[in-house]
Amino acid sequence: GLQCGIVGLPNVGKSTLFNCLSNAKAQSANFPFCTIEPNVGVITVPDERLNKLVELVQPQNVVPAVVEIVDIAGLVKGASKGEGLGNKFLSNIRETDAIIHVLRCFDDNNIVHVDGNVDPIRDKETIDTELQLKDLETVESRLAKEEKKAQTGGDAKAKRLVEVLHLYKDALVQGKSARSVQLNDLQQEAAKELMLLTNKPILYVCNVDEASVVTGNKYVDAVREAVKDEGAEVLVIGAAIEADIAELDTYEEKQLFLQDLGLEEAGVNKLIRTAYKLLNLRTYFTAGPKEVRAWTFKNGMKAPQTAGIIHTDFEKGFIRAEVIKYEDFIALGSEAKCKEAGKMSVEGKEYVVQDGDMMNFRFNV
Ligand code: GDP
């Protein structure tokens, strides 16, 4: 599955956040060496649409969409040079598809900061630098190889790669991340295989105290200002308070607590949805009396590919898809009524599936 990695300096609240995301107390107990093994949580994606479908269809079984989150602890200054558990963590990050960067934006004298005081911008730069240094290493060693190849001939593709590597190198030596480099489509294609750490989509999470969950604070303002050119999303979450909420037993209790704080929903729910988007994921539904299920697909996938997520045979033998828009289904109340009203379309192999489509695949076995 697709994975988001949580990174940040020690003591900024990564584990706290991870635990309330995955409600994973029991799960982390399964990793006795949790400072070495990354914690992987399989997290349900909250989706109001699924709840509404379940109310209407009353199925025997419900399966929500999930996203995997990995708690990547131990990234410290010097990691790119192997400090701490450096290289291991960097390779864990390489395997993820997107990054959630947690920044400490709360004051608390009882919680030691590795660099003495609270300063999310400095912290962000510390982490960025480690990732950039690692990328620079990757880019330079690759450049040496590719330039040698280019000298002994080399096609247009190889030349393009060299061009891209130079662009990245220029940015990285200036302390910029690979994602800041603007590439055209062909260059982007060439860049894909490099899997650079600082090219992954990123989301910043400002971990604040209880009093700042709605308003933010001076640290949050500083973060927003610092990342404004990155086009990255910034979320404000109070990890400690969210952890308290996660401990509550009932939905009603949780809602009351959230209302007291001035929040409409748990910050972690917003975080999961944002991560899902960051991974460029979308949801389609299947709904029948046996099961209502949310399926995850990559934005842009065509009908046969999305059918293949259910079963490879569905893709191989794909004939057509019957599609009902979620809103129509909710408005009319059943598949039969949608059909009657002409709200069911029949789509072929080229149909690009849309978020919220309700799919019924027809295929040969
Ligand atoms: P990690 O090293 O980044 O995984 O950080 P932890 O999640 O272990 O948190 C470090 C310490 O900070 C723990 O004692 C947490 O209880 C505390 N902490 C985490 N988030 C907050 C917060 O929002 N406010 C306050 N005051 N403490 C927090």
Residue nearest (by alpha carbon) to ligand 1 atom 27: 240
Q: What pLDDT score does 31 carry? A: 41
Q: In which residue ranges of the chain is pLDDT below 70? A: 1, 23-38, 83-86
CB distance 288 to 59 below 8 Å: yes
Q: Give the sign of the dihedral formed by CA 354, CA 356, CA 358, CA 363.
A: positive
Q: What pLDDT score does 86 carry? A: 61
Report the C-alpha gap between 27 and 31 in whole angstroms: 7
Best of 11, 21, 72, 209 for a ligand 1 pocket test (most atoms within 8 Å of beta carbon): 11
User: Which CATH superfamily is 3-45+65-118+201-278 part of?
Assistant: P-loop containing nucleotide triphosphate hydrolases (3.40.50.300)
Report the C-alpha gap between 243 and 15 in whole angstroms: 10
CA of 238 to the centre of ligand 1 (A): 10
**Strand order from edge to edge, sheet including 281-287:** 61-63, 291-298, 281-287, 357-363, 318-325, 344-347
- As a whole number of Å, the end-to-end CA separation of the chain is 26
DSSP 286: E
Residue nearest (by alpha carbon) to ligand 1 atom 14: 111
CA of 280 to the centre of ligand 1 (A): 29
Pairing state between β 39-44 and 291-298: unpaired
> pLDDT tens across 143-183, in order?
999 888 877 777 788 888 999 999 999 999 999 999 999 99
Q: What pLDDT score does 223 carry? A: 97
Q: What pLDDT score does 90 carry? A: 80
Residue nearest (by alpha carbon) to ligand 1 atom 28: 240
Q: What pLDDT score does 330 carry? A: 96
Sequence spans of domains, the chain: 3-45+65-118+201-278, 126-198, 300-363
Region at 39 (left for phi over 0; alpha for psi -120 to 50; beta for the rest)? beta
Q: From 99, 105, 49, 47, select the one nearest 72 (Cα to Cα).
A: 99
Report the C-alpha gap between 55 and 59 in whole angstroms: 9
Same fold, 3-45+65-118+201-278 and 126-198: no
For residue 266 the two structure tokens come to 């748990």
269 half-sphere exposure, CB direction, 13 A CA radius: 12
Give the other-Cβ count within 10 Å of 114's Cβ: 13
Task: Give ipTM to 2 decimals.
Answer: 0.93
- Point out the ligand 1 atom lying closest to the alpha carbon of residue 107: 26
CATH class belonging to 126-198:
mainly alpha
DSSP 38: P
Q: What pLDDT score does 35 carry? A: 42
CATH architecture under which domain 300-363 falls: Roll (3.10)
- Point out the ligand 1 atom lying closest to the alpha carbon of residue 12: 3
Best of 6, 9, 12, 16 for a ligand 1 pocket test (most atoms within 8 Å of beta carbon): 16
Residue nearest (by alpha carbon) to ligand 1 atom 24: 209
The phi, psi pair for 205, rounded to 5°, reads -115, 115
CA of 318 to the centre of ligand 1 (A): 50
Ligand 1 contacts (CB < 6 A) are 8, 10-16, 73, 106, 108, 111, 207, 209, 238-240
For residue 49 the two structure tokens come to 């649409």
